[in-house]
Amino acid sequence: MVGYVIERRRRRRREEGKRGRGSRGREEERKRGREEERKRGREEERKRGREEERKKKKKKKKKKKKKKKKKKKGSSHAGYIHYGSRGTCDERFTRVEELLQSKFNAGEELGASLVVNIGGRNVLDLWGGYADIAHTIPWEETTITNVWSLSKTIVSLVALLLIDRKQLDPYEKVLKYWPEFGANGKQDVEPEICNTGLATARLAAQKQWWNPRTASGYHSLTQRHLVSELALRITGTPIAQFVARELTLPTAAGFAFGVPKSQYHRTADLVPPPGPPADWKPDAPAPALDMTSLFAKTLLNPPMDAKVAGEEYWRAAVVPAANGHSNARGVAKLLSFISCNGSIGGTTLLSPETVDLIFKEQTFGPDLVITAKTRFGIGFGLNGSGEGGAGGWVPEGKICFWGGWGGSIAIMDVGRCVTITYVMNKMASAGLGSGLAKDYIWEVYRALGVAIPGESA
């Protein structure tokens, strides 16, 4: 009897155990099902998130494309990132833009920037092409390059600023500000004719080659050392710091002498100008072949190699006549003050009377260095009818100008409040301006409805 009872209890326990294991199994299955549902839900959420992110990116890309197209009004080359012109252009200057684009397409330009400013406002501000010789880095909005003698225009602006502030009298003797300069018979030279270290000390001690009132002689590098030293003697501030403090910072203009390593990434390579053909022979003795000529002593002492612009020592130096770094916009930002009679908006840099000093003719006739007829005012070349002005380049009017080796140029048309600036990195053989620069200038004046030399209005 006892054995029977024990057996029944054992049987009952086994049955209860089976029922317990079954309920636990079912519970575990339900848990696994719920977990799988949660996993599927999370995966669905992730998929939806990824899909939404892709849609957002597509929308952003479309917006960027629309912005690029809007930025370049009236252009058939909108969004042209490589080897094309970008920027802004009023409709009336569309043909100027098309001309620039055609030069890129034809390979006549490597990289370039072009600005037309009227009354202090840029009505055309274009850039494009490549910043490097290998054609891999686009010329961007902020790209700069060495502008050679276009740098001289900024030093001349410094001199005009000091004259306007009554700190410099252009008709006083230089030795008043710089006593050492009076050595070797230069005691009567005036600042208007001049227009720092070892170079200026040697210049101060040197004897003049001719009476400066009788003829002009182009200073490739030394003239702006003279003006810079005058500015240093008067203000106590080196020219590079003075330009930054008094000109570029107040106006937000992009210009500097030399370039720091931190800005190398946006500094365009220069392509040296082509040399003469291998079979070239001069028809007559050239001044450059006579090493005793003023041409050779000035321009080949030592010979300039455009490749120097890429050297670290050149970029680290301050050469006021030749190693300014900028683009067309940066130069136009400063020189437009001249075109606008000294004032733009609420900012006044010069008085109209000081601007008028530029147009007081200093010299007119054969230049003893470059051997061509020239016409100079204080700091700038002057327009004028016939030889010696900018005849063939610009129309009649109250216009001053200067440019840099290879083709860069700045035109200040005071009578029309127009400034035209052009900076490029593929150098032409021209010492002042180039055929390309001339083409752009002509097209700008055509757009303005102004007759240019040789054409009817």
Residue 249 sits in a domain whose CATH number is: 3.40.710.10
Q: Percent of the chain, pLDDT > 70?
A: 68
Place of tokens 């007081």: 360
| Of residues 63 and 253, more confidently modeled | 253
Q: In this structure, are residues 77 and 60 in contact, taking their beta carbons and an 8 Å threshold? A: no
Lowest mean pLDDT among 10-19, 136-145, 349-358: 10-19
The CA angle 146-117-114, to the nearest 5 degrees, is 40
- Asked whether residue 168 is domain-assigned, the answer is yes
What does the buried/exposed string (b/e) look like for 397-431 if buried means 16 or more CB atoms within 10 Å of the residue's CB? ebbbbbbbbbbbbbbbbbebbbbbbbbbbbbbebb
pTM metric for this prediction: 0.73
Q: Could you report the per-residue pLDDT of 172-218, keeping only the tens digit for each?
A: 887 787 766 665 666 666 655 554 333 344 444 455 544 554 444 54
pLDDT tens figures, 280-337: 454 445 555 566 665 555 555 566 789 999 999 999 999 998 999 999 999 999 999 9
Give the range of the structural domain holding residue 216, as residue numbers without chain letter: 101-271+284-447
How many domains does one find in the chain? 1
Confirm whether 223 is domain-assigned. Answer: yes
- Dist CA 430 CA 413 (whole Å): 22
Q: Which three-class secondary structure state does DSSP give residue 89?
A: strand
Residue 82 lies in a domain: no
Give domain status of residue 247, yes or no.
Answer: yes
Q: Does a structural domain hold residue 29? A: no
Q: Look at residues 230, 224, 93 and name the one whose alpha carbon lies nearest to residue 172.
A: 230
- How confident is the model at residue 411, as a pLDDT? 97
Assigned domain for 86 exists? no
Residue 21 covered by a domain: no
pLDDT at 419 over 60: yes
Residue with tokens 């597509």: 58
Q: For residue 234, tell me if it sits in a domain.
A: yes
Structure tokens at 427: 């150098």
